[in-house]
Amino acid sequence: MSLAVELAGVSFGYRAGQSVLEGVTLKLGEGEFVAVAGPNGGGKTTLVRIILGLERPTAGTALLYGESAHRFSRRRTLGYLAQRSVLGGDAPATVREVVSAGRLAAGGLIGPMRRRDRELVAEAIGRVGLAAQADAPVRTLSGGMQQRAFIAKALAGEPSLLVLDEPTTGVDAESQESLAALLDGLHSDLGVTIVYVSHEFGAVESFVQRLVLVRRTIVFDGSPGELPGLWHDPSHVHA
Q: Per-residue pLDDT tens for 81-121?
A: 887 655 544 568 899 999 998 887 655 555 567 888 899 99
pLDDT tens per residue, range 142-187 = 888 988 999 999 999 899 999 999 887 777 788 888 888 999 999 9
Q: Is the distance from CB of 4 to CB of 161 less than 8 angstroms? A: yes
pLDDT tens per residue, range 38-79 = 888 889 999 999 999 999 999 999 999 999 999 999 888 899
Tell me the three state secondary structure of residue 8.
Answer: strand
Please provide the average confidence, as pLDDT, over all residues in the chain: 86
CATH level 3 topology of 1-73+209-239: Rossmann fold (3.40.50)
Q: Are 1-73+209-239 and 81-159+173-188 equal in CATH topology?
A: yes
Which option is the CATH number for 81-159+173-188: 3.40.50.300, 3.30.930.10, 1.10.10.10, 1.10.357.10? 3.40.50.300
DSSP 25-59: EEEEETT-EEEEE--TTSSHHHHHHHHTTSS--SE
User: E strands of 84-188, at which residues?
Assistant: 161-165
Residue 137: CB atoms within 10 A of its CB come to 16
Half-sphere exposure of residue 3, counting CA atoms within 13 Å on the CB side?
A: 15
Average pLDDT over residues 8-36: 91
Report phi then psi at 17, rounded to 5. Answer: 85, -5
pLDDT band at 16 (very low <50, low <70, confident <90, very high): low
The domain limits of the chain are 1-73+209-239, 81-159+173-188
Cα–Cα distance list, 208 to 81, 200, 203 (Å): 18, 13, 10
